Amino acid sequence: MSDPDAGPRTRPGGRSARVRAALFEATLAELVENGYAALSISTVAARAGVHRTSVYRRWPDRDALLEAALASLTAEPVRPEDTGALETDLRRYAEGIITVLNGPAGTVLQALLSSDARSLPQADRLRQALLSSRRALSAQMLARAVQRGEIPATTVADDVVDLLVAPLYFRLLLTGEALDDALAARTARAAAAAARAGALTAQTD
């Protein structure tokens, strides 16, 4: 690239990074408030207070900009901690996901999953990226619990994490009840108990 300040390789923290962050925020806000059909580089640029040509220098069209804005939402996934016990590992992890879902990324995700924008290929890729990154990261928590002898070695890590996380999305997308630390504690307690009881091992049903 001839322009070291353009495109996704830009170092974080500089003016260019701030412009990019503002553009991503404006893109997602426009998508949530006015929908994909109305999304345009002109509207986004105006909302972010950036000249259109600065946008076109980085992204050729609105789809490229939208893709980059959505990718930024999963750029910093929640990382499991090692607390020394499965239930507290799961609890911290659920608390981290709840923090994200209660923040701006959660608003965007909810809007994307609950509106006509859901059918966009970009929304589908975001959904897939979110799930695969979560499953890859959380497998480590379960491997540690197996090593400590807390749960059977045949425990299916994805099933434990789905059981932990599903009640969060159930509230976000269906019941509308609060996502809070009490929910994190309860769902972690339940998922850990089910795993310890051997209810989440690979079985023929």
Residues lying near a second copy in the complex (CB under 8 A): 35, 113-116, 118, 127, 131, 159, 162-163, 165-167, 169-170, 173-175, 181-182, 185-187, 189-194, 196-200, 203, 205
Structure tokens at 180: 């809070």
- State how far the Cα of 184 lies from the Cα of 178, in Å rounded to an integer: 11
Instruction: Give the shortest CB-5-to-a second copy separation in angstroms.
Output: 37
Our CB check for a second copy shows the closer of 45 and 145 to be: 145
Instruction: Give the shortest CB-36-to-a second copy separation in angstroms.
Output: 11
Our CB check for a second copy shows the closer of 18 and 189 to be: 189
Instruction: Give burial (CB, 10 Å; 0-12/13-18/19+) of 11.
Output: exposed
Instruction: Give the shortest CB-117-to-a second copy separation in angstroms.
Output: 9
DSSP 116: G
Instruction: Give the shortest CB-7-to-a second copy separation in angstroms.
Output: 31
Contacts of 109 (CB under 8 A, 6+ apart): 73, 101, 126, 130, 172
Our CB check for a second copy shows the closer of 118 and 148 to be: 118
Our CB check for a second copy shows the closer of 64 and 185 to be: 185
Q: Which amino acid is at 24?
A: F
Instruction: Give burial (CB, 10 Å; 0-12/13-18/19+) of 138.
Output: buried
Our CB check for a second copy shows the closer of 153 and 182 to be: 182
Instruction: Give the shortest CB-137-to-a second copy separation in angstroms.
Output: 16
Asked whether 58 and 30 are in contact (CB, 8 A), the reply is no
